[in-house]
Amino acid sequence: MIELKGVSKRFDSFTALDNVDLTIETGTAFGLLGSNGAGKSTILRLLSGIYRQEGGEVLIDGSEVYSRPEVKERVFFINDETIQFGGYTLKALKNFYKGFYPNFSEEIFEKLRETIKLPLDKKIDTFSKGMKRQAIVIIALACRTDYLLLDEAFDGLDPTMRIIVKRMLVDAMLDRKLTTVISSHNLKEINEVCDSVALIHHGKVLFSRDLDSVKGNIHKIQAVFPEEYTEKEAFPELDVLHFEKSKSVLYLIVRGSEEEIREKLAGKNPVVLDIIPLSLEEIFIYEMEGMGYDVNGIK
Amino acid sequence: MMSTALSNEKPMEKPAKTNPFRQNFLEQLIRNKKITIMIFILHLTAAPLTFINVITKFFNKDYAEPDELMLVLAVISTALAALAGIVIAINTFDHLCKRSRVDMSLSLPLSTNQKFFSDFLGGLAAYLAPFFVAEIIGLLITGLGFILCEGKTYVVYKDPIEFEFFKPMMPYYIQLIIGGAFIMLMVYALTVLVMSCCGSMFECIFYTAAANGIIPAMIACFTYLTIGDIYGVDFENSFIKAISTTSPGGGVFGLLYVFNEFGGEETTSEEWKEFFLWLIPLMLVTAVMLAGAFLIYRQRRAEQVGRPFAFRLFYHIIAFSVIFCLISVFDGMSELGVGAFITCAVIYMIMEVVANRGFKRIWLTGIRFVGMVAAVLIISTVSEATDGFGTLYRVPSAGNVSSITIDSYRGQMEDYPIEFTVKSPENIQRIIDIHKGELERYRASDHVYSYDYARDYDYEYNAQKISCGGIKIEYHLKTGGKLCRTYNLALDEYLKLLEVERTDEYKTVLAEFLSERVTAQFDNLKAYRDMNLAYYNSNPAISVSKLYTQDKDYKLQNIPADFGDKLAAALYSDIMEETDEEFYRASAPKFHVNIDGMEVTVYPHYKNTVAYLASLDMLPETEYNMSSLRRAISNEEFIIASPSDRKEFANYTENGFDKYSSTLYNSRYNAYNSQVKYLRSYYESESDTIAYKLTILLENASSRYITEESCYTLNVSGEEYVIPPEYTELAEELYDYCYTEDYSE
């Protein structure tokens, strides 16, 4: 289990993480969502022992990570770049990591490599961006660590390879209870792979829940009321994230379960009331908007 | 969806045992392998290729010294190979300055300590392994040279020459390997230290170069600013010692300095001692650099990569050093004014703008600059006020001194300035007293000993600096440290030093030095001439001479084979048996035994030596050769100075004094503005009379004479003799024959 307890991380005067509490259960696929600079990559680097926190605790199965080889050998971190592997051949890179990770499996490596047909003896520099990403993913999986941290892991992959890599991850999770933490801007991918997500904003965790409860806790409402409402303050009983009015139709984004929302709006005698579930992308956008984040700046 | 290899598969492999430290070490070797190969090739073109060249030349019957071109190539390739250590360090620790390397390097299952030391050792192995392999090859070639060439004779232009290269070279080569390895280690450690402090590639490269230059520059400038003008303090010695152990470039200088100090002589334990006295501090400084690098590495954070500095104090130290050096240089050039400060300010501003990547908090830059300049000026002022922080008057107590070496001392055997070491408590105390006396004299003289060239023509000023010659005192402290001072001793201190000469400790050193020299010179002469008989059997090998008498020349065949040993034994006995009276009234007309160019002084009271030379009929005639004397007079080889002249001359030369005379090394001819009293004969009829009177003076003049009475002195071809008071009348007569040559215009 991964636990962040009151973790703070500053870069000079900039606070990247501010008293963050986060728990990631073993065997889950956990998605980190957030705008640029929210602190997603910082969390991953803290978990892989690259960064040292200024406050709080970063624990993996109850042990601190930083400068602890016995903990770090159970974690593999893939960042969003591949330039660092350029000078290696796939074989050399495999041999490099094999010496560090005691559970490294040649068998898995070979089978995965065969699946995606990567050359062993060519410099990784000569690979396409997608091939580079595949190369490091198969090495990461062959290392058979308990925790796999992926920062924008699916960048550069074509749709087919995206599916193959996802499948690899899912297989590993099913096979040996691999815990995967994925940070991505691509909400579709998080939606497809993860079972829990956390939304990070300005170094704080806005929420951390399983995906179903996230989806079930925010809704889009299309409604027509006998009275005319021009602002969201007219609905104090609801947690309204977004308010829009087009002629007589109101469009509201509201936090809460469908039943709860229906119950609270019943008193206003809606003429029309449709409650529509939101996609994860919409949830992300509206949650961020609720935090005052400029929607136009989101990828 | 496609199924992947992982589905429904259980890995069969058991966890393997890993050693991340070893793995990372090996990884660094692999990453640096191209540079390693390049370094190996460079080292092969140095010593191994040079030795092969020597062997090849021997077999081609060529003059068996390496080609100059080979040596130049060896120096260049060694320098390049050594500098490659910077490239290896940057490549190995690139996760400290390249963002793209941070995640990959620091996410590995290694602790900070494991990461640092496995990287350090891996890079170091990649750097030093080719050096050691190349030098092992060099040693094997040396062994081959021993077997094939050493000790064998070959003929160059009919001259048989015994090949001797590898044996004398061997100790130096071993020292070069050991010293070279540690200098390379320092290059590497210093680069790692700089990298620990910096966060970007530009800063890493620039400040590595800067640190290599600024360390010796700072030491030189600090030493100069604080003790450069302190009387007696061996500025150069302090400067060289400090520089040679604190930076790689200085280390190279230090190693060459050690070689130079002993160059051409057999390697002795003394030489090895000197080598280790250089090496051990160098190793300690390297260890400090490594420790510093490690401590900073532990403290720095991954996110600091990409910034100019991870440890900003490092930048401030370098910047301060630059300003310190600039101000010192301007001060040394007597140009410390507004222009100098503006120059310093501009340079500091450029450094700040580069380091801050722009004009950030410019007011802070200004404050720091003012603070730095103030600090330099305070150091300079305090140093001046405290005579180099007390350096001037520092005299160790006898209890802390294990021995004292006196260097450049021309005592009894003034032909050979010797270095001698005293260990007896009495002599240690004597020299400490001399040192203290000299400092007292300096204190009383109101510090006029700092030489002021602007007052070169100020006679009154110069008169206060009269001295009896310089000595270098080197204290060897029980703590292992050294303290060096160089003084021009005043007469009283010089006379005290003569007391040291009268001790058995000094006599033994001198007797051994001289007898060894005579034996070695004679043995060398025999070996050399026997081999080259055709060329040398017509020339005299040995001659014995005395002023203006008939010299005796001897061919080698005419003197016994044990001449060197017997003469050495006789000299040894004479020095050991010399009485105080003989010593303090050493007569002038001494003999000079010339052994193939080496002159040995034999005083008339050296009974054993005189007897031995007489037994071989080698003593020159006792009668003066009048025609030689007359010729010498007409050639103006004699100068007579009256006591009143001496006072006058004292204004012009550092070596003149009233009560006592030893040999003057600077002839009166060279004295500035002096009026020189040459002895000459105006009329032919007078020449015999003058020559006769002169023989009496020559016979009775003394090389060393101590009296309170004023005496005439006689200068013969640059050598100064005292005419004892009983011959003053005769000296006055001859003085009247002198004419004055005025050099004052």
* B486: nearest Cα among B308, B208, B237: B237
Q: Each residue of B137-177: pLDDT tens digit?
A: 999 999 988 888 888 887 766 667 778 888 888 888 999 99
Interface A-B: count of C-beta contacts within 8 A? 123
Q: Is the ipTM of this complex over 0.95?
A: no
Q: Pick from A69, A83, A92: which is nearest to B110 by CB?
A: A69
Residue type, A236: P
The confidence band for B452, taking pLDDT boundaries of 50, 70 and 90, is: very low
Residues of A in contact with B106 (CB under 8 A): 48-50
Q: What pLDDT score does B684 carry?
A: 60
Q: What is the DSSP annotation of B565-601?
A: HHHHHHHHHHHHH--HHHHHT-BS--EEEEETTEEEE
Position B82 pLDDT exceeds 90: yes
Domain assignments of chain A as residue spans, ordered by start: 2-210, 216-297
Assigned token pair, B161: 């020459």
CB contact under 8 A, A108 and B9: yes
The confidence band for B469, taking pLDDT boundaries of 50, 70 and 90, is: low
CA distance linking residue A165 with residue A185, whole number of Å: 17
How many Cα atoms within 13 Å fall on the side-chain side of residue B622?
6
Q: What pLDDT score does B451 carry?
A: 45
Q: Each residue of B637-680: pLDDT tens digit?
A: 787 877 665 544 433 333 333 333 332 323 232 333 334 556 66
- Per-window interface: A 98-127 vs B, CB < 8 A: 98-108, 111-112, 114-115
Residue of B nearest to A165 (CA): B4
Q: What pLDDT score does A149 carry?
A: 94
Interface test with B, best of A74, A101, A112, A134 (most B CBs within 10 A): A101
Task: Give kind and range of the element (H or E) at residue B722.
Answer: strand B719-723
Q: What pLDDT score does B649 carry?
A: 43
Q: What pLDDT score does B655 carry?
A: 37
Question: Is there a contact between B231 and B136 (Cβ–Cβ < 8 Å)?
Answer: no
Highest average pLDDT, of B253-257, B446-450, B689-693, comes from: B253-257
Whether A284 has its CB under 8 Å from any CB of chain B: the answer is no
Residue type, B528: Y
Q: What pLDDT score does B581 carry?
A: 85
What is the helix, strand, coil percentage profile of chain B, to 5? 60, 10, 30
Q: Pick from B6, B8, B24: which is nearest to A108 by CB?
A: B6
CA distance linking residue B127 with residue B115, whole number of Å: 18
Bigger pLDDT: B63 vs A1: A1
* B191: nearest Cα among B213, B206, B208, B207: B208
Per residue of chain A (299 residues), what is the pLDDT tens digit?
999 999 999 998 899 999 999 999 998 999 998 878 889 999 999 999 999 999 999 999 999 999 899 999 999 999 888 888 888 999 999 999 999 999 999 999 998 898 888 899 899 989 888 888 889 989 999 999 999 999 987 776 778 878 888 888 888 888 888 999 999 877 777 888 888 989 888 899 988 888 887 777 888 889 898 888 888 888 888 888 888 888 888 988 888 888 888 888 888 888 888 888 787 778 877 777 776 665 554 43
Highest average pLDDT, of A2-6, B631-635, B701-705, comes from: A2-6
Bigger pLDDT: B564 vs A287: B564
Q: What pLDDT score does B265 carry?
A: 52
Question: Is there a contact between A179 and A24 (Cβ–Cβ < 8 Å)?
Answer: yes
Position B336 pLDDT exceeds 90: no
Question: Is there a contact between B108 and A84 (Cβ–Cβ < 8 Å)?
Answer: no
Closest Cα in chain A, distance from residue B43 (Å) = 27
Q: What pLDDT score does B417 carry?
A: 63
Closest Cα in chain A, distance from residue B21 (Å) = 9
Q: What is the mean pLDDT of residues B602-622?
A: 89
Mean residue pLDDT across chain B: 81
CB contact under 8 A, A100 and B6: no
CB contact under 8 A, A72 and B26: no
Task: Mention the CATH class of domain A2-210.
Answer: alpha beta
Q: Which residue has the tokens 């390693």?
A: B36
CA distance linking residue B34 with residue B41, whole number of Å: 11
Q: What is the mean pLDDT of residues B550-568?
A: 84
Interface test with B, best of A50, A158, A167 (most B CBs within 10 A): A50
CATH topology of domain A216-297: Alpha-Beta Plaits (3.30.70)
Q: Pick from A50, A101, A114: which is nearest to B102 by CB?
A: A50
Question: Is there a contact between A172 and A164 (Cβ–Cβ < 8 Å)?
Answer: no
CB contact under 8 A, B6 and A101: no
> CA dist B241 to B237, B245, B259, B420, B451, Å?
6, 7, 14, 21, 24
CA distance linking residue B42 with residue B85, whole number of Å: 13
Residue of B nearest to A46 (CA): B107
Position B481 pLDDT exceeds 90: no
3-state secondary structure of B284: helix
| pLDDT > 70 in chain B, percent | 82
CB contact under 8 A, A100 and B12: no
Position B271 pLDDT exceeds 90: no
Lowest mean pLDDT among B209-218, B314-323, B517-526, B732-741: B732-741
- Per-window interface: A 30-59 vs B, CB < 8 A: 45, 48-52
- Please state whether beta strands A29-34 and A196-201 pair in parallel, antiparallel, or not at all (unpaired): parallel
Q: What pLDDT score does B660 carry?
A: 32
The confidence band for B722, taking pLDDT boundaries of 50, 70 and 90, is: confident
Residue of B nearest to A10 (CA): B303
Question: Could you say which DSSP state residue B438 is in?
Answer: H
